[in-house]
Amino acid sequence: MLEFKITKKDEETSARLGELKITHGVVDTPIFMPVGTLATVKSLTPEDLCEMGIKIILSNTYHLYLRPGEDLVEKAGGLHSFMNWKHGVLTDSGGFQVFSLSELRQITDDGVYFNSHIDGSRHFFTPEKVMDIEQKLGADIAMCFDECPPYPCTYKEVLKAVERTSAWAKRCKESHTRTDQALFGIVQGGVFEELRRKSAKEIKEVEFPGYAVGGLSVGEPKEDMYAMLQVMDESLPTEKPRYLMGVGAPEDLVEGVKRGIDMFDCVLPTRLARHGTAYTHKGKITVRNAKYKDDFTPIDEECGCYVCKNYTRAYIRHLIKAEEILAPRLLSYHNVYFLAKLMENIRTAILQGEFSGFYNNFFENYQY
């Protein structure tokens, strides 16, 4: 179950406003999805996310398969029920994680053998196995199992990954049966324009209700990522939702929207928070730095979030230094709110036909 309607198109760029209807509600796009790897957006409750207007989160199939296991989540009534989240959930396919996190992986045309990063135990993911896991997890949107090559990589290696990703996409679609869950295809191709076009063509031929751009933001220069997004903008169907996987730096969200991306996800806001870093409209600040010791101003004076309304940099720095749990909680709240608000402002700008002005204004202020 998925419907996507583009409600407004920007005249100067590929930015567009959309409404994504999924089993658990309607999501206004472009949207940023916070990551709840293990069925929890680290340190935050569902109520915290609701306060920020978050309507969809991402959870990780690889991690949930290992802990607590898809069978337990299914027994709990699926991810929504397990974690008490009433809005949308998207699960990735584990494709990225088996290549980046696990050890001793061995790729065959049938699937991927890998060792758990937790206890070293041996596992085998095939497209069919991943579909089974994702259907048990029960997200609104599931992702196809793909091969995500590292960066840098040779043309030949990426070609092989593109071919496997296409073959696996067909097998995923064939074994996916849940009608309350939409299955998205993933385009690979590294930073090779030709392979990106080939992958897009092949994945489009399988036909999915939405398409994701995978294998970017894996170490390549930003210009290469933006160039590939340009290629994707030209290659993917206009009327379907487009999801840029694993990308969430503020500047990349703005650049992605400009190139026609509707959905994003990233662990950055919560990961940075756990390392004492916060977003501001001028760029990131490292709150643990000594210069904030007696700075009694909020993290970002232009931010209207709960944290900025109630706490000072000096207090949060003290919490960080003392290794208090409240530090990552407050900074996670602020950082996720910051990205949610950024996307809201982007949507408003598109609606008002002012996206280019917004774009210029953003980059005049934001240093990265």
Q: How far is the CB of 38 from a copy of itself (least distance, A)?
A: 5
Task: Tell the smallest beta-carbon distance from residue 192 to a copy of itself (Å).
Answer: 37
Whichever of 46 and 185 has its CB closer to a copy of itself, that residue is 46
Catalytic residue list contains 109: no
- Given a contact cutoff of 8 angstroms between Cβ atoms, the answer to whether 295 and 285 are in contact is no
Q: Least CB distance from residue 332 to a copy of itself, whole Å?
A: 8
Query: How far, in Å, CA of 307 to CA of 324, rounded?
Result: 16
Q: Nearer Cβ to a copy of itself, position 227 or 326?
A: 326
**Within the chain, what is the greatest distance between any pair of CA atoms?**
60
To the question of whether residue 93 is assigned a binding role by annotation, the answer is yes
Nearer to a copy of itself, 86 or 282 (CB): 86
Least distance in angstroms from the C-beta of 320 to a copy of itself: 11
300: tokens are: 């970002």
**214 assigned ligand-binding residue:** no
Local structure of 145: helix, strand or coil: coil
Q: Are 53 and 13 in contact (CB under 8 A)?
A: no
139, two tokens: 């997200």
The residue annotated as part of the active site, out of 10, 92, 252, 300, is 92
69: left (phi over 0), alpha (psi -120 to 50) or beta: left
CB-hemisphere CA count at 13 Å for 238?
A: 10
305 marked as part of a ligand binding site:
yes
What distance in Å separates the CA atoms of residue 149 and residue 214, rounded to the nearest whole number? 10
- Report whether 303 belongs to an annotated binding site: yes
**Residue with Cβ nearer a copy of itself (156 or 309):** 309
Residue 318, annotated as binding a ligand:
no
Asked whether the CA dihedral 214, 218, 220, 226 is positive or negative, the reply is positive
296 in Cβ contact with 10 (< 8 Å): no
- Is residue 351 within 8 Å of residue 34, measured between CB atoms? no
CA dist 356 → 37, 215, 349 (Å): 34, 27, 8
- What CA–CA distance (Å, rounded) separates 34 from 26? 16
* Alpha carbons 55 and 356: distance in angstroms, whole number: 26
50 assigned to a ligand binding site:
no
CB of 311 to a copy of itself, least distance (A): 6
Active-site choice (48, 140, 252, 265) = 265
The single residue listed with the structure tokens 């590294």 is: 190
Verify whether residue 119 is a known catalytic residue.
no
Where does this chain bind a copy of itself (CB under 8 A)?
A: 38-40, 42-46, 67-68, 72, 75-76, 82-84, 293-294, 296, 310-312, 314-315, 318-319, 321-322, 324-326, 328-330
Placement of tokens 């490292």 in the chain: 286
Give the tokens for residue 247.
């990308």
Closer of 162 and 287 to a copy of itself (Cβ): 287
Tell whether residue 215 is among the known ligand binding residues: yes
- Known binding residue 106? Answer is no
CA distance 154 to 142: 29
Binding-site entries for Zn(2+): 303, 305, 308, 334
Binding-site residue positions for substrate: 92-96, 146, 188, 215
Question: Which residues fall in the annotated binding site?
Answer: 92-96, 146, 188, 215, 303, 305, 308, 334
Enzyme catalytic residues: 92, 265
